[in-house]
Amino acid sequence: MVRLELYKTILRLLLTDYSGLIATSNDYQDIADYIDDDNVEDAAINLMSKPTLPEVFHPWLLSIIEISANPVAMTATIDAFKKVLLYDKWGSEKKYERCFCYCSPSLFVTDAEYLYHQKNDKAYSQQLWIYLERLCVKSAERKEMLKGIAQPKRGTFVMAYNKAALGYSSNAKVPKEELCSYAYSASLHGKEPVKFHKGLEFDASAVRLSSYSYNKDVVYQQYYDIFDVINDWLHSKDILSAFLRIYQIVEFLIYRQQMSDIIKVSSIKQSFLREIKTLNKRFEQNERNTIVENLPLVFGVLTATEPSITKAEPFIKKYLGQDRNHTHGYLHPGMNVTDKSKALARFVYDMRCCIVHNKEAEFHVSYNNYEEYKNVTPLLKEVHKLLAKKVWDLMNQPASVISFENDRYIDLF
């Protein structure tokens, strides 16, 4: 089948089965005429303009338009491939769900979500479209492909492979799970990381103070190292990366606040080294309690809205910890201000561990399991914003708890 005939059959399928247009209407007849006249570009443009056509088909139509306007050769022969369309992923384990795409002459794998998570104004990459063309030559597979895009199902992928090229005999059973796992690793090796969910997007402009003016009584030089971390923080594109960066700053400022207290009395007691040794011991042996107890001292009372707490509470109870009565999460609606502030401090530390660690006993927060922790992201963003604005404020106060009383240097005894 030549490309023109393939495109015409695809467009007819979209027109008859998915456009939502009545067969006797002028719009339907106009598009049908374009197809009959071999004018696939105008047929695709007109189809895409119809609000009754599902938007998930827009990348498909845009790809037809682009390739028709700038033709490229189809690579290899379709007969060399064994095709597996919309194959259910192994089991129901969510950890295997990844929105990725891998194309090579011997193996083609794409998560079905990858095909319908494109922006409406963006065609598929040329390489991906060439492979989709090859998989749509046979009528049954073409129909199944379009059906899969129209009615997306989580946990499925499209696969095609050449047994001989992969080292298998013609009668061998191909381990599809292995091919899919290899394809995912190969796509990452090819610098094609899976995009994170839109619910994790982070806007740095929302965490700045309305005013940040020079104050001659502040020694800004003493915070220079913090500025570098803030720079890294403002490069964050998602809330997970941003939260880790703000935690780094928070941890540093908590340590700095305690250093400030030591400096205030060390000139009298001449006990600086002994106090520093004790301070380091507290962080090394009981980091969690040290952070949780001192975070409110540095940043003041921590608050969050009840809707965000209510939404996050089931996650907190299941994965992070319960209250003393084991009826709620340690952070739950209706807590008094003091208890809520302490619980939010613990939440900051626990979420940092969930993102950073990969321990067996902890819940792992990553880009690829968003659905499992999405109910906690509104609270994560609220707490992040609260801490971020307080950081700016602390650095611009002459008598800040994190300053060394305007001294640039620390006397050692």
Q: Is 150 left (phi over 0), alpha (psi -120 to 50) or beta?
A: alpha
- In the chain, where are the structural domains located? 3-53, 78-189, 198-395
C-alpha span between 118 and 83 (Å, rounded):
23
Containing 318, the helix (H) or strand (E) segment is none
The pair of three-digit structure tokens given for residue 378, joined into one six-digit string = 């509104």
C-alpha span between 111 and 159 (Å, rounded):
9
Let me know if 42 is exposed, middle or buried by CB neighbors in 10 A (0-12, 13-18, 19+): middle
Buried-exposed string 140-176: b where 16+ CB fall within 10 A, e elsewhere: ebbbbbbebbeeeeebbbbbbbbbeebeeeeeeeeeb
Can you give the pLDDT at residue 279? 58
φ/ψ (deg, to 5) at 60: -60, -50
Determine the residue type at 98: R
C-alpha span between 109 and 370 (Å, rounded):
22
Q: How many CA atoms lie within 13 A of 45 on its CB side?
A: 9
β-pair partners for 109: 102, 159
The full DSSP string for 394-408 is HHT-TT-TTS-TT-S
Q: How many residues does the chain have?
A: 413
Can you give the pLDDT at residue 90? 47
C-alpha span between 266 and 387 (Å, rounded):
29
Q: Encode the chain (413 residues) as per-residue pLDDT tens digits.
A: 588 899 999 999 999 999 999 999 999 999 999 999 999 999 999 999 999 999 889 999 999 999 988 887 765 444 445 555 545 554 445 666 778 889 888 898 888 778 876 555 688 888 888 888 888 887 877 888 888 787 766 667 788 888 888 899 988 988 888 888 899 999 999 888 888 888 999 887 777 767 788 888 888 888 888 888 889 998 999 999 999 999 999 988 888 877 776 666 666 555 555 555 565 555 555 778 888 888 998 899 999 999 999 999 999 999 999 988 888 999 999 899 999 999 999 999 999 999 998 665 678 898 888 989 999 999 999 999 999 988 888 888 887 777 775 454 555 54
C-alpha span between 240 and 23 (Å, rounded):
50
C-alpha span between 395 and 243 (Å, rounded):
19
C-alpha span between 25 and 65 (Å, rounded):
24
